[in-house]
Amino acid sequence: MVNQDQGGNLFGKWEIHKDTWCISNRWSNFMYLLIGEEKALLIDSGTGTGNLKEFVKTITDKPVMVACTHGHYDHTGGNYDFGEAWMHRESEYTAVNAFKNQGDSFYNSKEFPEVKINYLEDGDVIDLGGRRVKVLHIPAHHEGSIAFIDENTRSLFTGDELESGQVLLFVRRENLPYKEAAAVHKKNMERLKSLRSEYDYIWPGHNGLPLLPDRYLDDFIKLDEMVINGTAEESDNTGGYGWMCDMSVGPFAKAGHGVRASYGVASLVYVKD
Ligand SMILES: [Zn+2]
């Protein structure tokens, strides 16, 4: 294995479909490499530890287009290895400033060298050569969130907008009141559900994968609804998302008092005040 980072952590890789790889970064971030006849698409670039470009070369020698599901540091950190990345225009600010608007010293201390940023929009189709990938704008967790549907493997990639740990609704560049954020999330989940005939698997940016589409979409739609109408069961347990098990430390320390609402397999964390 190559590319040990300073913390002794490694990238990992495995082929989830033909010409489709999952790359793990510290086993907490998942990136995806879709290889077409002409080029490859790397969905997200991790935290910037190690050299992702070198690692990707162990899988393919085709030109690589980097596309970020959204602008958070743990999805854009490796863009600098490639020098160029694609994302929704609403992702650009946080992609080059991390959690700056929340004033966190740890992430503000990271260096953000120049990266050429190109925009992707809802409805765009990325042609990798014999392989088409559709772009959907689904902003709730982040203003710039985009999902990808790969026609060849009938896979949906959702970044942080749908995953098995929890969806955070207080980490946008400009946060929405939590019920509004849940309403936007619900609308996005309903849209993904309306496209259900186009995919069989959901591949998120963190935690367990792949997800069973029907169960997750239905439970998230129901949970969003319950948050909006005030009937969701809430707890103070914001733990369960990696090392950030206490909102009084880390990048979310200034976010406010977080609560978790859960229903079935769906879980949301938001700030009520
Ligand atoms: Zn995120």
Q: Which amino acid is at 50?
A: G
Å from CA of 130 to ligand 1 middle: 30
Digit-coded pLDDT (tens) for 229-261: 999 999 887 765 434 446 666 667 667 778 899
Å from CA of 157 to ligand 1 middle: 13
Give this prediction's pTM: 0.91
Domain that holds residue 154: 11-232
Residue 261 domain-assigned (yes or no): no
Residue 105 domain-assigned (yes or no): yes
Which residues 6+ apart lie within 8 Å of 91 measured at CB?
68, 70, 71, 76, 142, 143, 144, 145, 146
Where residue 177 sits, what CATH number does that domain have? 3.60.15.10
Digit-coded pLDDT (tens) for 134-150: 999 999 999 999 999 99
Digit-coded pLDDT (tens) for 46-60: 887 778 999 999 999
Å from CA of 143 to ligand 1 middle: 10
Please count the other Cβ atoms lying within 10 Å of the Cβ belonging to residue 34: 26
CA separation for the pair 57, 82 (Å, rounded): 12
Contact 160, 140 (CB under 8 A): no
Residue 5 domain-assigned (yes or no): no
Å from CA of 76 to ligand 1 middle: 10
CA separation for the pair 89, 147 (Å, rounded): 14
Å from CA of 160 to ligand 1 middle: 5
Return residues with CB closer than 5 A to ligand 1 (ion). 72, 160
Residue 165 domain-assigned (yes or no): yes
Residue 246 domain-assigned (yes or no): no
pLDDT tens for each residue of the chain, 273 residues long: 345 555 555 788 999 999 999 999 877 789 999 999 999 999 999 887 778 999 999 999 999 999 999 999 889 988 988 999 999 999 998 888 754 444 445 555 555 667 899 999 999 999 999 999 999 999 999 999 999 999 999 999 999 999 998 999 988 988 899 999 999 999 999 999 999 999 999 999 998 889 999 999 999 999 999 999 999 999 887 765 434 446 666 667 667 778 899 999 999 999 987
Residue 131 domain-assigned (yes or no): yes
Residue 260 domain-assigned (yes or no): no
CA separation for the pair 74, 197 (Å, rounded): 30
Beta bridge partners of 117: 85
Residue 241 domain-assigned (yes or no): no
How does DSSP assign the chain, residue by residue? -----TTS--EEEEEEETTEEEEEETTTEEEEEEE-SS-EEEE--TTS-S-HHHHHHTT--S-EEEE-SSS-HHHHTTHHHHSEEEE-GGGHHHHHHTTGGGT-HHHHTS-----EEEE--TT-EEE-SS-EEEEEE--SSSTT-EEEEETTTTEEEEETSS-SS-EESS-SSSPPPHHHHHHHHHHHHHHHHHTGGG-SEEEESSSS-SB-HHHHHHHHHHHHHHHHTT---EES----STT---TTSGGGTTS--EEEEEETTEEEEEE--
Q: Tally the domains of the chain.
A: 1
Å from CA of 252 to ligand 1 middle: 12
